[in-house]
Amino acid sequence: MVLMVQPRLVNGAFGDPSLFLDFSFGRRAILFDLGDIRNLSARETLRVRHVFISHMHVDHFIGFDELLRLFLHKEVNLHLYGPPGLIRAVQAKLGGYTWNLLNQTSPDFRLHAWEWSPEGFCSRQSFHARCRFEAGKARQEALRSKVLLEEPDFYVEVEMLDHGIPSLAFAFQERLKVNVHKSKLDALGLPVGPWLSTAKKLVRSGAPGDTVVVVDPEREVALADLIVAQALVSDPGERVAYATDFAYTDENVERVVRLAQRSDYFFIESTFLDADAAIASSRRHLTAHQAGEIAARTFAKRAVPMHFSPRYLGREEELLAEFEQGRNSRRSRQN
């Protein structure tokens, strides 16, 4: 199966957190977190249109300048999503440079900062290169619960975690895929045709089984008959979850387990070794063992530990081993 996005850690397990989600089709990309992104090629970075930022600690936000420099003379809209304080942070970053060379004839680069609030709305502040990045009028938009971005083929969910400050976790979710099996359709004596797009759309929207689809002026068929005969087969679609910088509390763990449940990829911080559990707790981070336990509870197909503290450079094997121990200890309790 071809995945809709291929996720890749820009700086491996030890460097600044930044996850690049590269679309298999359509020359497009998404970033989860904005640490140093200079390991991406300019071509890759320029595919990005949406960036989701967990929080504005320096190792999660320092890539902003690189992004700004690459996009400055491009006619594009770039969207940044983040926790409360994002708009002020973007404004402060932009305010650190001199923009006298920009004017109404400059390429129309537009930066939109979306600040998420747990009350279910997003405030947007736009900054246009042609207006020298002076803050435009702020707007507020209501959101469908915990969905930050919705598109026809996918959406991005958010969850708020406690890291001493709010830290956002994200999940990319491809929408339900509905595939047609032609041999089964033949067995039902039904032709291929535009009616199938209607049937697929209905299945995707969760229509009841007795919903009738018109095949042609003489024939109609119930959705349930198509599904039982396996002429229409649905697949939940790809899910990529990303959770970093959060304390090991029951509430955080419950939220992350829900967000990453049965994901295809689950990227999770595993910052400290167990021997340093007290430091992990005081900095409101996880140990690799704790991360492994959480990963086991999600039943993710691939769990990827990341955001290793640089103090363990050269000791990656120990972190990976403790992550595996955490997974196995949780699994043995689950069995």
Residues that bind Zn ion (CB under 5 A): 57, 245
Q: Which residue is nearest to Zn ion (CB)?
A: 57
Q: How far is the CB of 175 from Zn ion (least distance, A)?
A: 32
Q: Between 239 and 284, name the residue whose CB sits nearer to Zn ion.
A: 284
Q: Between 197 and 282, name the residue whose CB sits nearer to Zn ion.
A: 282
Q: Between 124 and 307, name the residue whose CB sits nearer to Zn ion.
A: 307
Q: How far is the CB of 163 from Zn ion (least distance, A)?
A: 6
Q: Between 15 and 136, name the residue whose CB sits nearer to Zn ion.
A: 15
Q: How far is the CB of 259 from Zn ion (least distance, A)?
A: 18
Q: How far is the CB of 272 from Zn ion (least distance, A)?
A: 13
Q: How far is the CB of 269 from Zn ion (least distance, A)?
A: 9
Q: Between 245 and 322, name the residue whose CB sits nearer to Zn ion.
A: 245
SS3 string, the chain, reads CCCCEEEEECCCCCCCCCEEEEECCCCCEEEECCCCCCCCCHHHHCCEEEEECCCCCHHHHCCHHHHHHHHCCCCCEEEEEECCCHHHHHHHHHCCCCCCCCCCCCCCCEEEEEEEECCCEEEEEEEEHHHCCCECCCEEEECCCCEEEECCCEEEEEEEEECCCEEEEEEEEECCEEEECHHHHHHCCCCCCCHHHHHHHHHHCCCCCCCEEEEECCEEEEHHHHHHCCCEEEECCCEEEEECCCCCCHHHHHHHHHHHCCCCEEEEECCECHHHHHHHHHCCCCEHHHHHHHHHHHCCCEEEEECCCHHHCCCHHHHHHHHHHHHHHHHHHHC
Q: How far is the CB of 61 from Zn ion (least distance, A)?
A: 10
Q: Between 36 and 245, name the residue whose CB sits nearer to Zn ion.
A: 245
